[in-house]
Structure 1
Amino acid sequence: MPGTLYLIPNTLGDTTALNHVIPEHVQALTAQLAHFVAENAKTARAFLKLVNAVHPLARPLQEIAITELNVNTKAEALAGLLAPLRAGHDVGLLSEAGVPAVADPGADLVRLAHQENIPVRPLVGPSSLLLAVMASGLSGQSFAFNGYLPTDAAARAKRLKELEMRSRAEKQTQLFIETPYRNGALLEALVAACQPGTLVCVATDISLPSETIRTHTAGQWKSALASGRAPDFHKKPTVFLFLAV
């Protein structure tokens, strides 16, 4: 009988407040696992040390197996990551931040687990995307996550206009993210491409003490940027959302 693949959420960056964002039962279950798949073994161990402070690990950290799955993992290597599950061991798929398999390479492993009839159990934890939708004031009835936009300025402007048309036609909130050091350039491109009345939300450092979430029209954001009142989001994880009204 195969083991269960547990999808384990991580904090969104605040390592001092584990109990505020990761439920106790998730921590307790995590502490019992001896096999993990994670984007980065070093940060996975750091997370397990935090868990250990509240729920002692079932075995020493150096005896816990952590296999990496990231953008460098070849497709043909995925099947091997399921070996402990086939042998009957439970495995935790641990996200680098937030929930696994959402804007995360773990989705491919989850799909393969389903193909092999391996049980998959998602555990409760923070998702920056859903938290941003909740706090934005934009439509939570229909929304779409678009990942990263093109880095080429012309292609990015074209894509933003396409998404704005879709947002207006379907009354759908559009979400996307950017490499944190490019946040400023993206917001400038966004307000330049969108109609002045389009609602734009910038959600930074969600769940951290430095969290800021602000929703204004594209026109208001454009005026703020022109007067030097840009958000404090340089090199900080940020979710961008807009809704054409």
Structure 2
Amino acid sequence: MDKAVLYLIPVLLGDTSVERVIPEFNKRIVSELKFFIVENIRSARRFMKKCDPGIDIDSLTFYELNKHTNKKDIEGYLAPMKSGNSMGVISEAGCPAIADPGAEVVAIAQKKGYKVVPLVGPSSLLMAIMASGFNGQSFAFHGYLPIDSSKRVSKIKYLEMQSYKDDQTQLFIETPYRNQKLAEDIIENCKPHTQLCIAMNISCDDECIVTKSVKSWKGNLPDMQKTPTVFLIYRGK
């Protein structure tokens, strides 16, 4: 590590082994770095211990970057790079800077001319698209849909329209305890032949990724109350 590098380090998507989804190269990088920008210090430490059980956690420096972080403080997190120290960015789950506040520190690093290196690892969004059977050449991720019921329904209808208009896969997520309600809203408000893929616990032992028409899902929805889930809708044929 001659020049300072900002490594974007993917982490586990759930309760699965590091060996299943994290390359050896990533584990070596984690073992070598001394400075980390993380969404949650506790979960980051657990992940690092899985990568290298012998790692001296107490010798490392952590900067926490999440929705509670003062935006004015973020630029200062990159201070170690001024002295030539490489740093790692670790999200709560999956790939940093994707649906994640880590994007803000990456933007600052790019502006300052630091080298940014994204490491290979699990992405629930890309893996869901891969397994859905939907259009993988044109897709859009919308994050969380509105909490307000009427606004959420309007958004669902709009995304369905876009999937037909642009032949584009539409992806979104929800807080696990609201998954069931979101799925029910999709079933009640989309066309019967519109395709819905429900992708749960991606990369874990109980992974379940199933694509059916809205009509076929009606009355057959799985229990998603406590399960990380990606929803994808696509035009019916």
Q: Quick one: distance in 1 between partners of 2:198 and 2:160?
A: 16
Contact kept, 8 Å, 2:35 with 2:60, in 1: the verdict is yes
Distance 1:212 1:155 in 2: 29
Q: Percent identity?
A: 47
Structure 2 residue aligned with 1:26? 26
* Maintained 8 Å contact 1:2/1:86: no
Query: Deviation of residue 193 (structure 1)?
Result: 1.4
Per the normalisation by structure 1, the TM-score is: 0.93
* Residue equivalent to 2:163: 167
The SS at the match of 1:124 is: coil
How many angstroms apart in 2 are the aligned matches of 1:142 and 1:74?
A: 35
Q: Distance in 1 between matches of 2:223 and 2:83?
A: 49
* CA distance in 1 between partners of 2:135 and 2:152 (Å): 23
Structure-2 separation of matches of 1:117 and 1:98: 25
Q: Which structure 2 residues correspond to residues 49-64 of structure 1 after superposition, within 5 A? A: 49-53=49-53, 56-57=54-55, 60-64=56-60
The structural deviation recorded for 1:191 is: 1.2
- Please tell me whether residue 217 in structure 1 is matched to residue 213 in structure 2: yes
TM-score by length of 2: 0.96
- Whichever residue aligns with residue 114 of structure 1, its letter is Q
Aligned residue in 2 for 1:233: 224
Q: Which runs of 5+ in 1 are unaligned?
A: none
| Structure 1 CA distance for aligned equivalents of residues 58 and 70 of structure 2 | 26
SS of the residue aligned with 1:43? helix
Q: Alignment partner for residue 117 of structure 1, among 113, 137, 147?
A: 113
Name stretches of at least 5 consecutive residues in structure 2 with no aligned partner. Answer: none
Partner of 1:202: 198
Q: List structure 1 runs of 4+ shifted beyond 3 angstroms.
A: none
Matched, 1:187 2:183: yes
AA aligned to 2:233 is: F
Whether the aligned pair in 1 keeps the contact of 2:180 and 2:223 (CA below 8 Å) is no
CA RMSD of aligned residues (A): 1.2
Conserved 8 A contact 1:27-1:51: yes
Which shows bigger deviation, 229-238 or 191-200?
229-238
- Superposed displacement of residue 2, structure 1: 5.8
Provide the C-alpha distance between the structure 2 equivalents of 1:234 and 1:162, rounded to a whole number of angstroms: 25
Alpha-carbon distance in structure 2 between the residues aligned to 1:141 and 1:198: 19
Q: Distance in 1 between matches of 2:33 and 2:15?
A: 23
Amino acid at match of 1:204: M
Q: Distance in 2 between matches of 1:107 and 1:49?
A: 25
Where 1:5 maps in the other structure, the secondary structure is: strand
**Residue by residue, what CA displacement relative to the aligned partner does 1:152-203 show, whole Å, maximum 9, x if unpaired?**
1111111111111111010000000000011110000011111111000000
CA distance in 1, matches of 2:174, 2:114: 34
Secondary structure of the 2:52 match is helix
Q: Distance in 2 between matches of 1:180 and 1:99?
A: 19
Rounded to whole Å, the distance in 1 between the matches of 2:88 and 2:137 is 31
Name the structure 2 match of 1:138.
Answer: 134
Distance 2:139 2:4 in 1: 34
